[in-house]
Structures are given as C-alpha cells and as structure tokens.
C-alpha cells in the first residue's frame, strides 16, 4: 500500500497522503513520491487542477516524520518541491486545492499554505509547534504564515505554538470554506469543478502572473509582461473563446 495515493479523474489530479496511523507524517520515501507527482502534474497538460487531501480524521499532516533517521532527505515535497525549503523551489503551475482535517501543523501547515484554495473541517487546527519543542531551522512555514495571515496573528502562532482553529482561520482569510468532516471531500471536489469551468490555460497564466509579482510594487507588476499570458493569447482555447462568443454558446475548453 503506497503512502501517497495519486490518481486522475477527468481533468482533476488527486494527491492523497496515506499514513493515517502516523497522522500522515511525511517520510523520506513520501517526500520522493510527492516530488515526482508534482513534476508529473506540471508536465501533464490533461491536468487542469489538483486536490490535495489526506486519509483519516485525526490529521491532515503533522509535518516530517522524525521517528527515524532523515539523512539524505531530497527536499522535493516537504522542505523543497512546492514548499521550497531545503531544496529547489518547484512552482506548481496548476491550481491547487487543499482539503484539510484535524491537525495541520508544522510542515503539514506549510504544505497546506502552498494551496491556492483551502477547505477545512470544523475540527481542523493549524499550528507552528516548532519553538515549543525547541526546534527551528530553515523553517518555510514561518515565512508563509507571516505572509498569509495578519502579522500579529502569525507571530503569536510562531512565538507561542498555539494552534489556530478552522473558524478563526476562515475569519483571517487563510481558509476559504469550513465544512463538516463528512462534507470535506465533496466540498473540495466542488471547488475543483468551479475551477475547471474556467479556461485551464487562462487559469495557469493568471496564477503565474499573480504569484510571480506578488512581492513587487504594484507599478512593477502592472508594467510586466507575462509569457504565459502571451502564450495563452495564441492558444486554441483563446480562439474557442472568441468563436463561442460569436455563436452565443458556452466555450468548450480543451487546454490547448
């Protein structure tokens, strides 16, 4: 049984952490699996968006598995990959939806914050317990938290280790929707359906433009040219957009 499940359903890629007995803590092997999965998703034009989830009801992910030796970590998924700490930063070019339940702490919290949309259960709790346990390193989770939450909320989490419940996370804009546990999967899939109603290449170009200039002054962002947007303008989907508008019908996207 694999510790990371990966499957495609039409144009949605599903990635599921599958170590519920260990609260989905990420091992070196899982790190390598996830790194390969993110690469495949980026290169597969039939994938229009991604749903990241986890088995069990106790935890989405509690971060890296510290029970065994972690020497030789590749830094592809947790501590690299889409997180970018300890390894090359891999920018996921497809929209990413995270479905979060239970404990979402440490590196698991970082993994969730890599998502563009977060759906959480009513019992979900987000946290940065590192300093409470006397641990701190090249900790990507603190850099993301202080950018995605109000400054003092993030700093209080960093400096006390206190967890943030889902309803507060939604209040602060970290979470898009809070649902009962039995509604988590359907809520995440509903968001995927909404995303995939849009032109996939336009979505990818929009995500790239928004994030690539996020830390720049507005005037720089406005003056920038974006290769993905220029490529989309020449795509079959852009032509289909114009044809459908002229014919008074909904466009049928192909992602090409």
Distance, in Å, from the CA atom of 253 to the CA atom of 198, rounded to the nearest integer, reads 8
Q: What is the pLDDT of residue 71?
A: 46
Instruction: Give the predicted TM-score (pTM) of the model.
Output: 0.92
- The active-site residue, picked from 21, 55, 110, 162, is 110
Residue ranges, the chain, pLDDT below 70: 1, 68-88, 137-139
Q: What is the pLDDT of residue 83?
A: 56
Express each pLDDT in 19-58 by its tens digit.
999 999 988 888 888 888 999 999 999 999 999 999 999 9
130 is an active site residue: yes
Q: Where are the beta strands (DSSP E) in the chain?
A: 4-9, 12-17, 49-54, 59-61, 96-100, 103-105, 117-121, 125-127, 164-165, 177-179
Q: What is the pLDDT of residue 20?
A: 97
Output the six-digit token pair for 155.
């700093």
Q: What is the pLDDT of residue 79?
A: 40
φ, ψ of residue 236 to 5 degrees: the values are: -65, -35
Q: What is the pLDDT of residue 23?
A: 96
Q: What is the pLDDT of residue 107?
A: 86
- The active-site residue, picked from 130, 177, 219, 227, is 130
Distance, in Å, from the CA atom of 238 to the CA atom of 232, rounded to the nearest integer, reads 7
Burial 163-184 (b: 16+ CB within 10 A, else e): bbbbeebbeeebbbbbbeeeeb
Express each pLDDT in 208-241 by its tens digit.
999 888 888 899 988 988 888 999 899 999 999 9
Q: What is the pLDDT of residue 214?
A: 86
Q: What is the pLDDT of residue 139?
A: 67
227 is an active site residue: no
């Amino acid at each position: 049984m694999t510790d990371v499940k990966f499957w495609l359903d039409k144009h949605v890629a599903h990635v599921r952490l599958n170590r519920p007995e260990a609260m989905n803590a990420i091992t070196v092997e899982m790190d390598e699996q996830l790194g390969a999965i993110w690469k495949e998703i980026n290169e597969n034009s039939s994938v229009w968006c991604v749903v990241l989830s986890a088995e069990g009801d106790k935890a989405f992910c509690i971060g890296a598995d510290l029970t065994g030796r972690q020497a030789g970590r590749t830094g592809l998924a947790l501590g690299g990959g889409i997180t970018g700490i300890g390894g090359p930063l891999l920018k996921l070019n497809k929209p990413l939806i995270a479905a979060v339940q239970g404990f979402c702490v440490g590196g698991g919290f970082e993994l969730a914050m890599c998502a563009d949309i977060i759906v959480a259960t009513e019992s979900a709790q987000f946290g940065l317990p590192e300093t409470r346990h006397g641990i701190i390193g090249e900790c990507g989770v603190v850099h993301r938290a202080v950018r995605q939450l109000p400054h003092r909320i993030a700093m209080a989490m960093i400096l006390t280790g206190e967890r943030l419940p889902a309803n507060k996370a939604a209040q602060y804009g970290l979470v898009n929707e809070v649902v009962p546990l039995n509604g988590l999967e359907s809520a995440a899939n509903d968001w995927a359906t909404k995303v995939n109603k849009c032109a996939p290449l336009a979505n990818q170009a929009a995500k790239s433009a928004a994030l690539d200039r996020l830390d720049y002054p507005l005037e720089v962002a406005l003056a920038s040219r974006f290769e993905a947007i220029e490529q989309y303008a020449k795509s079959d989907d852009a032509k289909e957009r114009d044809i459908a508008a002229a014919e008074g019908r909904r466009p049928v996207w192909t992602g090409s």
